[in-house]
Every structure is written in C-alpha cells, then in structure tokens.
Amino acid sequence: MLSIQNLSKTYPNGVQALKNVTLEIPRGMFGLLGPNGAGKSTLMRTIATLQAADSGTIMLDDLDVLKRREEVRKVLGYLPQEFGVYPRISALSMLDHFALLKGVTNKGERKRVVEGLLRQTNLWEVRKRRLDTYSGGMKQRFGIAQALLGDPRLIIVDEPTAGLDPEERNRFHNLLAEIGENVVVLLSTHIVEDVRDLCSQMAIISEGEVLLSGKPEEIIRGIDGKIWVKEIEKAELESYKSEHTVISTRLYGGKTLIHVHGDTAPPGFSPVTPDLKDVYFSALKRVA
Amino acid sequence: MWLRIARFELFYQFKQPLIYIMWLLFFLLTFGAVSSDSVQVGGAIGNVNRNAPFVIVQLMSVMSIIGIFAITAFVAGAALRDFDKKTAELYFSKPIRKLDYIFGRFIGSTFLSILAVSGSAFGIFFGSMMPWVDPERIGPFMIDPYLFSMGVMVIPNVILISAIFFVVASATRSMLFTYLGVVVFFVAYSISGQFRRNLDSEYLASLLDPFGMSAFQNATKYWTISEKITIVPPFEGALLQNRMIWVGVAALVFLLGYVTFSYTKRASKKKKILLDGSIGEAAAAAVGQAPPRAQVNFRSGTALSQYAGQAKVEIFSILKSVPFLVMLLFGIANVIGGASQTHQFFGTSLLPATYLMVQTIEGSYVFLLIIIMTFYAGELVWRERALKMDGMYDALPFPDWVPFAAKLTALFLVSICFLAIGVLTTMGYQAFRGYTQFEMMVYLKGMFMLCYPFFLACVLAIVVQVLSKNKFLGYLVMILYLISDVIFLAFHMEHNLYIFGGSPSATWSDMNGFGHFVEPKAWFFAYWTLVTVVLVTIAIVYWRRGTEEPFRKRTIEAKRRWRGLVKFATLGSIAGAAALGAFIFYNTNVLNEYMTGDEGKDRSADYEKQYRQYLGEPQPRVTAVSIDADLYPSERRLDMKARYTYVNKTDAPIARLYMNQPPRSEIRSMDIGGHSVHMADSTLGFYVLDLDRPMAPGEERPFVFEVAVTNDGFRNGATDYALVGNGSFWNSRHYLPVFGYDPAHELLDRNDRRKRELPPPHRMNKIDDEAARMDNYISIDGDWIEFEATVSTDPDQIAIAPGYLQREWEADGRRYFHYEMDAPILNFYAFLSGRYEVYRDKWQDVDIEIYHHPAHDSNIPRMADAMKKSLDYFTANFSPYQHRQARIIEFPRYDIFAQSFPNTIPFSEGFGFIMNHEKEEDIDFVFYVTAHEIAHQWWAHQVMGGNMQGSTMLVETMAQYSALMVMEKEFGKENMRKFLKYELDRYLSARGGELIEEMPLLLVENQQYIHYRKGSVVMYALQDYIGEENLNAAIADYIAEVGFQEPPYTTSLEFYEHVKAATPDSLQSVLVDLFETITLFENRVTDVAAEEDGNGGYTVHLSIAAAKYRSDGQGVETEIPIADWVDIGVFGEDDAVLYLAKHKIDAGEMTIDIAVEAEPVEAGVDPFHKLIDRNSSDNRKKIQL
C-alpha cells in the first residue's frame, strides 16, 4: 500500500508541478490518467526516489519513501517515460548488468531470471542483438523486463505505451497484466484505454492536482445519466460551446459528434452510456 | 543552387558551438604564443619581434597544419551529416544536382574552416597589443604578412585538407575511417619530414611538402634578423610551384571524389532496425506466466559486485569507442616517429636506452593520455544522462559511491592500458633496433613518476564534471586547469604545494637511478594523493542521482550523504594533507630556501647593481691550491678545506678584498692572516673584507677556508645535482670562494635586464683593451697554479681530481685519494666520485684511463682510439702533451656535455656513452667529441686567451680545427664535406638568432655559432688554401711563443699574425674574408654541357654565376666585387674527381672550359663547400651529354 499525503513540488522556474497531492494506492494496478504536463511524471519520479518534494510524505507500507531512498530502491521497479540504453551492448548483457545492479548477485540466479524475463517479454530470439537496433516496441518491452527484475514490491511505469502501434500496445498490456496482484503497480498514461483495459484503481490528475480517484466503474457510475450526445455541423461548434459544457468533440463519418455534460438533456441531444473517456474529459472540465 | 547549399552549411554551423570553439582555440593559441613565453607553437619566437612578418607567417602556417583536426570536423561533418541524421533520403529526393550538393557542402565547410583558422590572425594581432608585452619586441603593424599568410599558406592548406578529408568522408561514410585517414596522413607527413631534413634534396622536399612549410623554411632559413622583421618571402620559385602543385592536387582529389560519389551507397551494415514481425510468436508460450522471482540480497559484498560489474561495462564502452581508438593509433604512430628521432648528432643516433624511450613517451604520447582522461571523464560522468537512461539507472539500488568508483576505476584501467601499449610500442622499437635490455624497472619507475600526477588530475576531471552544470562547462574548467601552469608561471608562482599534482622533476640516470629525486617526489605525491582523496569524497557526496537540481539543493543532499566513512575520509585526508603540507613547507621553505626563477634573476640584477662598482679592483691572485675534500655521497654532503696561496701581483698594496662566496655552501672557518668584515651580504654571497695587514706588492700569503655543503631536507624546485649518490661532479666554481667582482653572475638576456632597469648586456672587452689581457676568460682571480688535492669518499667509490694519484688508502671506513699535479694548470678544476669500472690503455708513455659506469662499455674502445689518434696528431703537429695521463670520467646525465679539465675530461653519460655508431663509414660523434676535448688540453690548457673578444676562437675554434684534422685522417675527405655542410648550415641558420651583433671570427664574443660552426668552416678552408702542414707549422710556432703564458695573455690578433705570415700575398685577401669580415658567397652553376673532343676525352663547358657580399653585424648585406680563387670541379662516375683546381673568379658570370679524360657526370663551383655560400645546394649540376 502506497500512501501519498499532501505532496507539493514547485520547480525553480516557478511551475507548480504538484499541488498538495494526496492519494492512497492499494496493491494491484493503479492508473494515473492525465494530459501531458499534468504532473504525472513529477509524481512518479518523486516516488521513484529521483526527485525531492517540497513538502508532504510518501509511505510504502511503513517505509518513508522520501527519507529512506536506499531502502525504497531495493524494492522498486521503474520504467521511465523516455529512456536510452548503452550503445553497442546486447539486451542479454544489459539485462544481466541491471540484474546485478538490482542486487541479484548470484550468477546462476541472475541467468535464470534474465532468461525468464527475456522469454516472457518475447525478446528471447533477439537477446543477442544490440539494443540500439531495437524497434520502439521491443525497447519498451526491454524496459518492462528491467523494471520487473529482482521482485519489486513497487512498480512504476511512466507512459509505457506512448509511441507504440496497436499491436505492440496490446502485447505490452498482456505483459503488464501478468504482474502479480500483490505488488503496487503505478501506471501513468494519457490514453484512456490503457487504464480501462488494465487498472482496477485509478486517479485523474491535471495541473498538479488530483481531480478524481477510485475504481473506474465507480467513477463512471458517478456521471451516469449526465452525458449527452449530438451530431452537429462543424460550423455550429462554437455556439454549442458557449451554451453547453462540451466535454469532447470528435469526427464521425464526416460529421462532428459532441458530448456534453449536464444534469438534463439539452434539446436535440440523446443520452449516451458514459465510458471512461467521458469521465476523463468531464474531470478535465472540472464538472465531474 | 550550390551557393544556397553552401550558405545553408554556414548558417547551420553558425548555430552550433563548434565554429566558435575552434575560432577561440586558434585565437588563444597564437594570442598566447605572441603575448607570452609560456606558450610555444612550433618552437620559441626567439629574439625577433613578436609580431615580425617571419613569426606571423610561421605561426599561421603551423596553425593551418594543426587545423587538420578542426578542418576535418567541419568537412567530414558536412559530408556525413545527411547520412548520420538519416536525412539523406529527404535531401536526395529533392531535385538537387549532384554537383550543386557536393560542391555547395564542400565550399561551405571549407569556408568555415578558413574562418576558424583565421582566428589565429586575430590572436597575433591582439596578442601583440597587450600591455604586458615588452614594447621593444613589437614592430609596427604590417598588413602584408597577414595577407601573405592567409593567401599563400593558410587558404591553400585548408583547401587541400578539406578536399582530401571531404572525399575520404564521402567515400567511407564513417567518421572513424576519416579520422584514421587523418592519422595516416599525419604519419605520412612526418615521414616526408625526415626526407626533408636530408639536405641534398632540399628543392624536391620544398615541392613535396603538401603544406608549403619546407618551401617557406628553405626560402627563409638563412634570413638575418633584419630580414625576418621587415619582409615576407617573395611568392616565386619553389614556394609558388609548391602552392600551385598542391592546390592542383586538391582540385584533382575533389574531382575524383565527385565522380565516384553516390547518393545511394549505404554507410555500413549497422543500425538496421529490427522489425517486430520478424520474431514471430514463438515465445508466446511464455506469456501468461508470472515474472520469474529472484533472490536479491544486499549484503556487504553486493556493492562490490555492482562496482566491479559497472566498471567492466565502462571499460568496454571506452575501449570500443572511436575517439579512444583514434587517439591510440595516433599515439602509437607518434611514439614510433618520436623514438626514431631521438637525438641525432651529425647522423649518429643514440642507443634506444629505456629512459630515452620513457622520455619519448613523455614527449609524444602522454599528451594524448591527458586528452583521453579529460574527454572520457566528461563522457563517463554524463553518460547515463546523455543516453537518457538516468531515470532507470539512478533508481537502482546501489550505494552512491558505486558509479563514481566504477567510472574512476574504468578510466584508470583504460589509462594504464593505454600507457602499457605505449611502452610495448617503444619496446618493439627497441627490439627492432636490436636493443634488448628492456630494463622493466626503469619503465615501471619512469612511467610511474611521469604519469602519477595525471591520474590525480583524472580524479580532478571527474570531480569537476560532477560539480559542473553540464559537460561543456566541465571541459572548459578542465581546459582552464590545463593552462593554469602557464598562468601560475606568468605570476611567478612556482610552489608545488598549490600547483595541483605538482612535484619537483626527477631525471633518471643509469649511474644514479632516480637517486635523491625520489624522496621529495614521494612526499609531494603523498600530499597530493590526500588532497585527491578529499576530492573523491566530494565527488561521492555530490554524485548526481535523479533529476537535476540547483546547486543549493544538491548541497543539502550532499550534506545528508556526508557521514560515516566518507566523512571520516574527508576529515582524515584534510588533516593528513595539512600535516604533510606543513612538513613539506618546512623542508622547502625553512630547511631550504624557496626562490622563484624570477627572484633568482632579481638577485643577479641586485648583485650587478650593487657590486659592479668593484669590477677591476686590484685583488691578489692565487698561485697554489691544496684541497682536502670529504664527500659523503649517500648524505649528499661535502666538507672541503682549501689552502690557497695568494700573491699580490700588482705594484701597490692591497688592503681590501672583495669575496664571492656561493650561497650553496657555508663557510665554517676562514684564516686569511687577520681581517675584519667591512660588509657582509650573505643573500648575494658578497663580502668586503679589510685585511689587518695589507698585502705588499709581491707578497705571498696563505688563505685557508673550511666550507661545508649540506643538503638538508629537500627543495621545491631544481635540486642541486652536483653531489649525488653515485657520480658526483663539482668544479672549483661551485662551492669555493673567489676574489673580485664576478661578471659571470650577471643577467645575459636583454629583456630580463630591461625589466630590472639594467643597461643592455655588457659586451666583451675590446680586443685592444690591454688591461683585459691581464685576466684570462676562465678565471678572474688566478693564472697558472700548482695543484694538489686529497679526496675521500665511500669505500666503493673512486674519487678523482686533476693530477696524478700519489697514494690511495682506507681509514675509518672511508677511501682516500691523494692527487698531485706536476705542471702548472689554469685555476679551474673539478672533482668526481662514483662507482666506476676503469678501462686502461697506453699511448706511448701516457696512461689512457676511462672511468665509466660498468654497463656503459660499448663506446669505450672507440673513445680510447680517438684519444690516441688525437694525441698522435697534436703532438706531431702542435706541441708535446703536458701530462702523463689522459682520463675520461663519466658523469650522470643531469647535464649533457663534455668538458676538459687538466688531464681530466668529465663526459656525460647522456651522449658519449650511449651513442650508437651504426654505419662504419659515417662520422662517429663520440670520436669527434673526444678529439675535440683532447684538443682542449692544448687549446685552453696550453694556449689561453685574455678576457676579451676573439679569445674563444683561440680555444673553441682551434679545438674544432684540431678535431677536424684527426677526423679527416680517420673518416676521409668525403665525410668531412658532409660534416662541414652541417656546420655551414648550422652557422647560417643560427645567424638569424643573434641577440646583439654578429662578429667576425677574429673578434668573436663567445658566440657559439661563430666560434664552433663558422670556425670549423673557416679553418678548414684556410688549411685548404695555404696547406695543412704550412698552417700547422704556424700553429706550432704560435704555441711555442704563447703556451703557458703568464699575463698579459695572448689575443686572437697575435694568432692571426702567425697565420698571415704563413699565407702568400695572393691569398691575403682571403684571410680578410675569413677572419676579419662577415663575407658570404652566392655561387651557382647556371649551365653545364660537355662534348667529346675526338681523342677519347671530353670538354666541359661550365657557366657559373658568382656574387660576393659583406654583411654587417645586423645582417644587412652589400655586394662587393668578386675576385677570388674558387674551386672548380668536374666529377665522373661514383663522384670520382676528374678535375679540381682553383680558378680566379672575377666576374659575375663566367664560362670555363675544362678538358677531362673520362666521361663527366657532374660539375660545380666550390663543390666541397669551402666558402660560406648562402645557398650551397646549387653549386653542382648534372651534365647533359
């Protein structure tokens, strides 16, 4: 159980990245949903011992994350949003090296773990290839392999699916889904489907603040009967925006489809069963 | 279109830092070279103006060659960028013609290169305007030299380099291969440099030098100062041809590159991105399982394993990286080049002794280590960040010290590996030269002494990078550190306690090992090691982990980490360094005197300012010397008791004595028959003493001194190396008092003098100064003396002093030697002591003895041979040898010279004993030096000139002549021609470096290039004109007249009278040319043809041009009519002389017909270089039949 209390962080350039963030993150997959620049990465880096906070606490069970970084690192698996690798080195050697740095000092043990992870991430056949020749998806899977090294109790994956094609994303989801229920997995994304597919708990964060948190189905239930849909002409959009809380617009067969939030149906709108996207956009509009 | 592409290239680079960094680098290099003596580019500027046209052209040419690295960066970048950045397809799909693309990129990057190198012009311009530069060394601003440098040297060179490496880069599509190409090119260039140094192919070498440096040097090599500071060479002849050839080559290379250029050629097989589909779903079975569990543990050994693993990864990352491999290859090539050029003397090389190899590594290799360490310190510290893997990496559970320690270890191990390869290279070279005593301990110790400070600096480089905000700032700080030596020097700050990693220098000697140099070095190393440990702890606590934070926040984190062992190490090391620093300070500044070079010069200036007033005060003169010297080699301690007999040789009483006492020694007691001290200046070592009882004219009085030399503790800088564990060598001037003001202490450099408000250096006394004849130029307070000495030393050493060994005994565990001289000697003597092996031989009834280090025995027989042959010639032609013994004694290589004392010749191990005379027919340098030193037993120790102009001709020129005659007998006339050509070349080249005024030989003022180099040429020509026997007879007469003469001493004019008397009237004018004036010839063959005369013989038609010049002391020449007898020669196969006779040349152009009997091959005017000819390479010409 990861417990974040009143966490704040302001960067030297004045940007307030975290504003009094409080979150309770139980074991299992936890999705952190938010637009780019919402403070997701700051939060995750802070939990991953890479950055100090101005105030607040983070507790992993009874471990003070901000004070006892060394201890946290021993149980942490972290996949940053963007990462590189040493050039001119194979996946096998690199993973072996990471395993050593994770504290798997026994050679045979290391070999077993590394091989197992390479198989599981479907990199076994290319294990001897240089990492700098990997495609984006392969690299991402390598990243998750290293994050899973050494039995972490806390796994943090930051925007793992950005830049992956649908098939790669799918594979990646399968992999994440295997991670045991007994560890805390914190996943940040700006793609709603990632959370929908994977997470049993979630939070929506924007401009450094937590807007919503809970189980996805419960959150969706919270806006049940409040989302309405209508097909309009593109030129009409502005006038709708001024009259209603338009939470999303999208093109559908050449027409513009808008969702609005409201307690009652506006004229000409029909009800729609809300999904996580509607929750997300409502939350960003601060209406949910 | 190409113009637009070129412009694009420019604007692209203007947005990158490279062009600015390069420009600044070139600016700083020349700025430093012009505005200070600490920075040298291609040798010191010398005595010409700092902004003399000659200096400007030279500096800028060198810059354009060094620029090869910068230029390659620009052109290879332009050629490869589209391929590296994968924009090639984008570019090549556009409708751009190949010519436009290539030419545009080429022109753009070449222009950038020229721009970068032009920074050096601004560096010179601004450097010469700096207020601290001596205004007397700055000439007026001239635009010509800048235009000449840019137009004739820099731009063609840059175009050539650009073309070559643009094409290499385009063809190989690889930065690695391009830089390897640069290495190969550099190596090839230095090989062609070897070729250039061979004088016979000067013109060809001028053409073949791709950078035109040889052409420039050959066009200006005999320039005098007045030429160097006023003009640039004319753009004609070999220089013009060279430039045209090489710009043509550049065009050809470019054309070739253009023709073979292809858009589609792939760089290489690498970087083929794998496709996911290619791996299939074979491993799908594994999906669906939980991740494998692993046993992690964080015992105490875990961090060590992590450290070792990380170090391994770092080591391979460096070993596999391009810059390292390029620098390694370049280093190997450079060290081989350097080793093959170790000290050549007249074609004789030194044995590749191990310490010379270490020296070579120091000179040609270690600078690369510094670059590697600095560069990779930045690379390694910032690697995870540059690769964007810091997020992943920094969250891993290893202690903070692990990455730092691993990276440092990797850098250390790679450096050691780099050095080991350097050593293996020189060992390979030694084996190639057939030298197989590898002396591993010398390598090990030598490399350690040399490189340990660099390893400390390597830690510094890492710490700087850790603290720095980014990598480039870190590099900038390290560059400042690297040039801080220069800055410290400029401010006369020389103490090794604050120059990071500093320690006194140490010189290896086979005789003495590293001797007493080890102790101070060890203390300083220990001190700097502790300082470095403090740096290490700083690096650990400040090591970056996680997101970059402002320094203030990092300090908070650092304080948190500063605990336990790290805190203990910081505090312990600070305490230790403070204690060691105090101990060192006690040794260098309390037990010994700490003095900067500048303060030393101040003292010389003070000495002159305060005491020159006493110059020429009448003083008693020493007539007999008896010395008891007790040397304690292991303590480097010496006690001497000197009993002098002084006589008042003047005709007035002497009541006041002016005594110089070298501050290196301490007077323990002094008895000069009762005196009082009128003035004592112990700092400058000058005392004015009033005798209780004045010395009457003719009175003889014993003076007894006891002096002690102790070497307590150690010094910061140059250690006294006269007294050492094995191979002590000190002379009478080192520690014993001398009476009278001694002008030898005065500053000589006119700039040093001007800074201290002293007049220009005092010239030597004029030749007609009769008073100056009362002194000789070696000793100011004595003439010919009686000498005896008793020297004691350790029982395993032999001690030597002039004279004959009377008795040798042991007492109290010490060994005593008593020497007595049976003939009068000059008041100049030396003592030596060492563990010697003695070679003994005999010439007639003279004992030949060579005292040498046991391992140095390869040249002993030739030395002995030279001694005997010299004694043969000199006794047969000049006068009898005054001693019954001739001894050569080896001394350590702290100095490299040989010097002749009465029957005693100390000879440095640094050249005579490790010369390698490989080719039997070549002149043997050991033979030459030995003959020269033996000749000094006549020239100096029999004939001594007064303290005035011309006297060094009597000593040094005559020793040269004597040695030449012995050598001619040994090696033949053809070898003498070679030797004299070297001598002539060295004379003509050195004229331009004259500080004050070039004198004619007869009036030489201790100018080495005149009394040695010109002297050889003049005396050889003289014996050729008037005959060897005739000249030697005149010399023998002269010695008979002036040998062992009491004052007034002889002068060069007296010698000249004898020469004149031996010279026929027809040749008197030649004497004027040789001795009285600076006369130069410009003789050359303009045309030569030959035809058969019908009787089996040939007629040679030789057309010559001849000119004769007189030069003044500043090198300003005037042509005078020629009317001289000059050699005309015709040569057949194998240089056989078919005809050689002197012809009267009395017109500027002449045609001479000569009949010869065999087929002529070559003909020439002055073919044996007997005249001083400003261009000796055009004196011969091949004959077209």
Q: How do residues B1126-1150 score in pLDDT, each as one tens digit?
A: 999 999 888 888 999 999 998 889 9
Which token pair is B622?
């020493």
* Banded pLDDT at B170 (limits 50, 70, 90): confident
Can you give the CATH number for the domain in which B1017 is found?
Answer: 1.10.390.10
Domain stop point among B827, B851, B884: B827
Q: Express each pLDDT in A44-87 by its tens digit.
A: 999 999 988 999 999 999 999 998 988 999 999 999 988 888 88
Q: Are B85 and B174 in contact (CB under 8 A)?
A: no
Report the percent of chain A where pLDDT is more than 90: 34
In this model, does residue B126 exceed pLDDT 50?
yes
pLDDT of residue A56: 94
Chain B residues 279-298 within an 8 A CB cutoff of chain A: 279-284, 286-298
Q: Is A283 helix (H, G, I), strand (E, B) or coil?
A: helix
pLDDT of residue B46: 59
Q: Taking the CA of residue A183 as centre, how many other CA atoms within 13 Å lie in the half-sphere pointing to its CB? A: 24
In this model, does residue B94 exceed pLDDT 90?
no
In this model, does residue B940 exceed pLDDT 60?
yes
Helix crossing, B440-467 with B518-542: angle to 10°? 30
Number of structural domains chain B divides into: 5
- Rounded CA Rg of chain A: 21
* Banded pLDDT at B93 (limits 50, 70, 90): low
Q: Are B69 and B182 in contact (CB under 8 A)?
A: yes
- Compare all CA atoms of chain A with the CA of B553 and give the residue at the minimum distance: A52
* Banded pLDDT at B473 (limits 50, 70, 90): confident
**What is the end-to-end Cα distance of chain A in Å, rounded?**
27
Name the residue with tokens 């004149």: B1060
**Number of Cβ pairs closer than 8 Å across A and B?**
170
Domain stop point among B1076, B1107, B1122: B1076
Residues B1144 and B1174 in one domain: yes
Q: How far is A129 from chain B (nearest CA, A)?
A: 9
- Classify residue B1158: in a domain, yes or no: yes
Q: How far is A65 from chain B (nearest CA, A)?
A: 12
Contacts of B379 in chain A (CB under 8 A): none
In this model, does residue B866 exceed pLDDT 50?
yes
* Banded pLDDT at B347 (limits 50, 70, 90): low
Contacts of B387 in chain A (CB under 8 A): 84-87
- Classify residue B1003: in a domain, yes or no: yes
In this model, does residue B253 exceed pLDDT 70?
yes
Residue A76 touches partner B, C-beta closer than 8 Å: yes
- Rounded CA Rg of chain B: 35
- Compare all CA atoms of chain B with the CA of A110 and give the residue at the minimum distance: B294
pLDDT of residue B285: 41
Strand A55-60, strand A63-64: pairing: antiparallel
Residues B329 and B209 in one domain: no
Q: Are A240 and A51 in contact (CB under 8 A)?
A: no
Lowest mean pLDDT of B129-133, B183-187, B613-617, B916-920, name the range.
B916-920
Average pLDDT over residues B495-504: 92
> Is the C-alpha dihedral spanning B88, B92, B94, B96 positive or negative?
positive
Residues B680 and B819 in one domain: yes
Which among A97, A103, A126 is the nearest to B397, CB-wise? A103
**Domain range enclosing B476:** 312-591
Query: Residue B68: which of B194, B176, B178 has the closest Cα?
Result: B178
Chain A residues 124-163 within an 8 A CB cutoff of chain B: 124-126, 129, 132-135, 137-138, 143, 146, 148-151
Q: Is B53 helix (H, G, I), strand (E, B) or coil?
A: helix
Interchain pair A86, B387: CB under 8 A: yes
Residues B1070 and B1087 in one domain: no
pLDDT of residue B281: 44
Average pLDDT over residues B915-926: 75
In this model, does residue B880 exceed pLDDT 90?
yes
* Banded pLDDT at B208 (limits 50, 70, 90): confident
* Cα–Cα distances in angstroms (integers) from residue B627 to residues B305, B721, B902, B1105, B1117, in the given order: 69, 21, 16, 64, 54
Q: Would you identify the CATH topology of the domain A2-75+153-217?
A: Rossmann fold (3.40.50)
Q: How far is A264 from chain B (nearest CA, A)?
A: 46
Name the residue with tokens 């001194």: B705
pLDDT of residue B40: 58
- Compare all CA atoms of chain B with the CA of A122 and give the residue at the minimum distance: B283
Q: How far is A59 from chain B (nearest CA, A)?
A: 17
Contacts of A122 in chain B (CB under 8 A): 279, 281, 283-284, 286-287
Ordered DSSP codes for B292-348? PP------HHHHHHHHHHHHHHHHHHHHTSHHHHHHHHHHHHHHHHHHHTS-EETTE
Q: How far is B177 from chain A (nearest CA, A)?
A: 18
* Banded pLDDT at B330 (limits 50, 70, 90): confident
Interchain pair A89, B313: CB under 8 A: yes
In this model, does residue B807 exceed pLDDT 80?
yes
Helix, strand, coil percentages for chain A (3-state, nearest 5):
35, 30, 35
- Compare all CA atoms of chain B with the CA of A88 and give the residue at the minimum distance: B317
Q: A83, A102, A105: which to substitute to probe chain B, counting the most B Cβ within 10 Å?
A: A105
Interchain pair B279, A126: CB under 8 A: yes
Ordered DSSP codes for A188-256? EES-HHHHHHH-SEEEEEETTEEEEEE-HHHHHHHTTT-EEEEEE-GGGHHHHHHHSEEEEEEEETTEE
Contacts of A117 in chain B (CB under 8 A): 291-292
Interchain pair A135, B387: CB under 8 A: no
Residues B393 and B322 in one domain: yes
In this model, does residue B277 exceed pLDDT 60?
no
Can you give the CATH number for the domain in which B800 is found?
Answer: 2.60.40.1730
CB atoms within 10 A of CB B1153: 9
The H or E element containing residue B494 is none
Average pLDDT, rounded, for chain B? 88
Q: Are B504 and B517 in contact (CB under 8 A)?
A: yes
Residue B306 touches partner A, C-beta closer than 8 Å: yes
pLDDT of residue B1179: 87
- Compare all CA atoms of chain A with the CA of B391 and give the residue at the minimum distance: A80
Contacts of B469 in chain A (CB under 8 A): none
Average pLDDT over residues B403-417: 96
In this model, does residue B18 exceed pLDDT 60?
yes
> Torsion angle, CA of A147/A151/A153/A156, rounded to 10 degrees?
10
Residues B152 and B19 in one domain: yes
Residues B585 and B508 in one domain: yes
Residues B690 and B624 in one domain: yes
B710-742 b/e (C-beta count within 10 Å ≥ 16 → b): bbebbbbbebbbbbbbbbbbbbbbbbbbbbbbb
pLDDT of residue B282: 40
- Classify residue B712: in a domain, yes or no: yes
Query: Residue B1105: which of B1082, B1071, B1079, B1131 has the closest Cα?
Result: B1082
* Banded pLDDT at B306 (limits 50, 70, 90): very high
Q: When comparing pLDDT for B262 and B749, which is higher?
A: B749
Q: What is the rounded distance in angstroms from the CA atom of residue A47 to the CA atom of residue A52?
A: 9
Chain B residues 163-202 within an 8 A CB cutoff of chain A: none
Residues B1037 and B1119 in one domain: no
Residue B268 touches partner A, C-beta closer than 8 Å: no
Which among A89, A150, A175 is the nearest to B294, CB-wise? A150
- Classify residue B849: in a domain, yes or no: no
Which among B294, B301, B397 is the nearest to A73, CB-wise? B397
Question: H helices of B433-563, where?
Answer: 440-467, 471-482, 484-490, 518-542, 551-561
Residues B1092 and B997 in one domain: no
> Is the C-alpha dihedral spanning B482, B487, B489, B490 positive or negative?
positive
Interchain pair B292, A132: CB under 8 A: no
Lowest mean pLDDT of A6-15, B1049-1058, B1170-1179, name the range.
B1170-1179
Lowest mean pLDDT of A172-176, B70-74, B394-398, name the range.
A172-176
Strand B904-908, strand B915-916: pairing: unpaired
* Banded pLDDT at B303 (limits 50, 70, 90): very high
Instruction: Give ∠ CA B262-B265-B268 in degrees, rounded to 5.
Output: 145
Query: Residue B1002: which of B1056, B930, B1043 has the closest Cα?
Result: B1056
Q: Express each pLDDT in B212-237 by its tens digit.
A: 888 888 888 778 777 888 888 888 88
Which token pair is B973?
């006339």
Report the percent of chain B where pLDDT is more than 90: 58
Which among A117, A126, A133 is the nearest to B271, CB-wise? A133
Q: When comparing pLDDT for A150 and B1017, which is higher?
A: B1017
Residue A44 touches partner B, C-beta closer than 8 Å: no
Average pLDDT over residues A98-117: 91
Q: When comparing pLDDT for B1092 and B201, which is higher?
A: B1092
Lowest mean pLDDT of A225-239, B78-92, B122-136, name the range.
B78-92
Q: Are B122 and B130 in contact (CB under 8 A)?
A: no
List Cβ neighbours of B665 (8 Å cut-off, separation of 6 or more).
Answer: B638, B640, B707, B708, B709, B734, B735, B736
Domain stop point among B787, B807, B827: B827
Q: What is the rounded distance in angstroms from the CA atom of residue B1103 to the CA atom of residue B369?
A: 58
Q: What is the rounded distance in angstroms from the CA atom of residue B310 to the CA atom of residue B389?
A: 14
Average pLDDT over residues B491-517: 91
Residues B468 and B564 in one domain: yes
In this model, does residue A278 exceed pLDDT 90?
no
- Compare all CA atoms of chain A with the CA of B544 and give the residue at the minimum distance: A50
Q: Express each pLDDT in A202-255 by its tens digit.
A: 999 999 999 989 998 888 888 888 889 888 888 888 888 888 888 888 888 778
Interchain pair A122, B283: CB under 8 A: yes
pLDDT of residue B201: 62
* Banded pLDDT at B1076 (limits 50, 70, 90): very high
- Classify residue B457: in a domain, yes or no: yes
Question: Could you give the ipTM of this predicted complex?
Answer: 0.91
Q: What is the rounded distance in angstroms from the CA atom of residue B629 to the CA atom of residue B638?
A: 7
Residues B1055 and B1089 in one domain: no
Question: For B576, phi and psi rounded to 5 degrees?
Answer: -65, -45
pLDDT of residue B87: 58
Average pLDDT over residues B131-148: 85
Residue A174 touches partner B, C-beta closer than 8 Å: yes
Q: Express each pLDDT in B585-599 by its tens digit.
A: 999 999 998 988 889
Q: What is the rounded distance in angstroms from the CA atom of residue B901 to the CA atom of residue B1081?
A: 39
